[in-house]
C-alpha cells in the first residue's frame, strides 16, 4: 500500500513538472495545452490526496476546484455586484423606515384616545379593595 502512495506522489511531481514546462512554453494562458496540463495536474493531485488519506488518514491542506466552482466564486466576489447589492439594501431600509413611521403614528393616535377615556374615569367609584391593588406609595 505504501507503494501506491509513493506512486501517486511520483505522478503528482511529474504532473507539476509538465505543467511548469507547458506554462513556460505557452504564449496564451488559455492555450489548450495549458488547460490539459492543468487538468492532468488536478487529477494527479486528487489521486495522491485520496491515496494519502486512504493509507494514513492524512489530508493535504489543498483543494482542487473545477471550472464551474471557480466561476461561481468569481461571480460572488464581483465588486460591481456588491455595490449594486448595497444600493438595493439602502432602498429597502428607507422603505422599511417609512412603514415603521406610519405604524408609530397610528399607535400614537390610539394611545391619545385611551388617555381621553381615562379622563372620564370616576375614581370615587372605587372601593378600598380596588385602591389597595394600586398601591401608589411604592
What cell numbers appear for 130 in the block?
380596588
Cα dihedral 81/84/86/90 (nearest 10): -160
- Residue that wins the pLDDT comparison between 63 and 80: 63
Whether 58 and 52 have beta carbons less than 8 Å apart is answered as yes
The pLDDT of 45-52, averaged and rounded, is: 96
Half-sphere exposure of 94 toward its Cβ, with a 13 Å CA cutoff?
6
The whole-model pTM stands at 0.48
Higher-pLDDT residue of 138 and 125 is: 125
Amino acid at each position: 500500500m505504501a507503494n501506491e502512495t509513493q506512486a501517486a506522489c511520483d505522478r503528482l511531481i511529474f504532473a507539476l513538472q509538465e505543467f511548469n514546462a507547458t506554462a513556460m512554453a505557452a504564449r496564451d494562458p488559455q492555450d489548450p495545452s495549458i488547460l490539459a496540463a492543468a487538468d492532468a495536474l488536478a487529477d494527479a493531485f486528487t489521486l495522491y490526496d485520496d491515496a494519502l488519506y486512504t493509507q494514513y488518514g492524512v489530508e493535504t491542506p489543498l483543494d482542487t476546484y473545477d471550472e464551474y466552482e471557480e466561476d461561481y466564486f468569481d461571480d460572488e466576489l464581483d465588486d460591481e455586484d456588491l455595490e449594486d447589492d448595497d444600493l438595493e439594501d439602502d432602498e429597502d431600509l428607507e422603505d422599511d423606515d417609512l412603514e415603521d413611521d406610519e405604524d408609530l403614528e397610528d399607535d400614537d393616535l390610539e394611545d391619545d384616545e385611551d388617555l381621553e377615556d381615562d379622563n372620564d374615569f370616576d375614581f370615587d367609584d372605587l372601593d378600598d379593595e380596588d385602591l389597595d391593588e394600586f398601591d401608589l406609595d411604592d
